[in-house]
Amino acid sequence: MKPRNGGNLEIRGVYLSQEASWLSFNRRVLLQSLRPDFPLLERLRFLAIWASNTDEFFAARVSRAFLEERGGSSYLALLQEALSQAQEASRLYREFLRELTGLGIHVLEPAQLTKAEQQYFGAYLAEEVAPRTDLIPPEAIADLSPRALYFAAGDGLMHHLIRLPDSLPRLLPIPGREGGYVRLGALIRMRSDLFVPTKSQLFEFRLIRLAQLERSRADWDELPEALEARLDGRVSHLELEEDFPQLWAESIRVALGLEPEEVFRLLPPLDLRFVNTMVEGGPASARFAANKPLRVKGFLADPWGYLDRRDLVLYHPFEDYGQVEAFALAAAQDPKVEAIRATLYRIGQGNGIAEALIQAAKAGKDVAVLLEGRARFDELINLEWSLRFQGAGVRVLPLPSKKVHAKALYVRREGQGYVHLGTGNYNPLNGRFYTDLSLFTAEPRIGQDVATFFGALERNHVPHLAVLRTAEGIREALCEAIEGEAHKKGEIILKCNHLTDPTILAALEKALHKGARVHLIVRSTLTVLWPGVKVRSLVGRYLEHARIAAFKNKGKWRVWAGSADLMPRNLDHRYELFFPIQSSRAKSKVLELLRAQLNDDRNTFLLGPEGQEALWGGKHDGQKLP
């Protein structure tokens, strides 16, 4: 890059679509299956993660391209990349089967079973599987449901479709054979007589539909109906086993309204998510050793006194997420606590914070939650929690016009506010497998802002905050900070999952033109890549999830963290929260974390206009507590 115009740099970015960038990320996930430094079963786990991600791609992330660019060259390129990954995953699955024999794990074909084992599984199919399957006439193809495994059956013509619901296990342990498994699909082929009127060869297929609520503004009383409407989404993807009869395949494709390129022919088995069964059932020696998270001395004994003296920043999962749940429980059990507020997005089935809120309400405290009923794919679980909350006396606040994706827990104790702010969901599973930041503070201005945030949304008002930033204010604050670094001594570090906002990208490019050093750690999607700018994507044991922004500010670093990825969706259509890391001790800790990840050479891909390069096997592991 050569200076021009008084020292500015010539920098021309290469633009990618969000969908293409996300598929590149999913290829990075698939490549984890090849890591020589990972235990065998952990490598296999990434094959299941890739499969789940691919379903999500065709259910949600491809929707814009599907609806707006279908048939165009960029859309066809997406399909070609997705097909290439699916073919590679199928090849890797077969390699894994050979490697797994060294662990005593075998996936047998029905013909390899003993007569007694075949009889047992015949009884299992008759008692447990056949009653839960559906026999569907081919005329009903257009109404097939997503993610279920189907078999087409017939003699010359396609006469029947067999539907296996997604709830049925796809891989079954063989009684008496430690490490022995057999696929459900293979067993059904063996005993097709239990499922169709006449003996017939069976062929496997499955499909994915776009999963979007017809009414994104649905409130709690409208949500059940909106969820039902989601079942009618258009089919975006069809997978057929490689030998599927051509005439049958064409009739299914036409009935589903798909183009030929939207149909993938793959070697069975389809839907590799089932390999998780072998991961969980395999020997512990072939998985990662359990992480032993640290707890901060003295914090939980008296969180209020601790926070009166200093702020606390935790880096999960290396520092125990259970401390967040314990903080909520302490608030529920403390008679001096008057009120609790919480934002809840993806909280799962079992949740210590939610249970603490219920306990607090039953103790007579003023408890209210912003429970996001529109969290995609978690709507039904959150609907269940809303009923539990209301039954216990927790006020479930009306859903505002924007999704609430902020992560905030507010406790009022003897008139003083104590706050937890985070970059990740209040979910105990995420707390063990996602890297996230937690800030605990009793700083009065932050406490007042969080109280204002809850109060404004409860009254259906737009929050106006003094210290924190929400909605479009996050973009404004970041762009102002980036502009302040747009000079030769400027330095910017941004860490997020997704960076696609055009305004922020333009501000970064302007800063690059002015000579600033820009460091980007972007896990998944980035829609501009600049020559000479090292963009890092960390994909390792843990899912990188923290969102952090740091600005050199003439040597006095300013550091922010928050719930928002830097996308128009998050900044324009959601209530997020970005918060400053103010104490010098906490700020130093976060900067040390960022520098460790900028030096990582064990979990990193370097992204550039020419492609992506893996850095594995080095000495610097950025996925640990600095």
Catalytic residue IDs: 405
User: In 3-state terms, what secondary structure has residue 220?
Assistant: coil
575-610 as b/e: b if 16+ CB within 10 A? bbbbbbbbbeebbebbbebbebbbebebbbbebeee
Structure tokens at 379: 């709507």
- Range list of H helices, 439-561: 444-458, 472-484, 502-513
Beta bridge partners of 469: 578
Neighbour tally for 390: CB within 10 Å: 13
Three-state SS annotation for 55-109: HHHHHHHCHHHHHHCCCCHHHHHHHHHHHHHHHHHHHHHHHHHHHHHHHCCEEEC
Distance of CA 29 to the CA centre of its chain: 12
Helix (H) or strand (E) holding 421: strand 416-422
Residue among 251, 257, 159 nearest 199 (CA): 159
* Residue recorded with tokens 């707390």: 431
Instruction: Tell me whether strands 180-183 and 171-173 are parallel, antiparallel or unpaired.
Output: antiparallel
Other CB atoms within 10 Å distance of the CB of residue 468: 27
For every residue of 98-140, DSSP letters joined together read HHHGGGT-EEE-GGGS-HHHHHHHHHHIIIIIGGG-EEE-GGG
Q: CB within 8 A of 81, min separation 6: which ones? A: 20, 23, 27
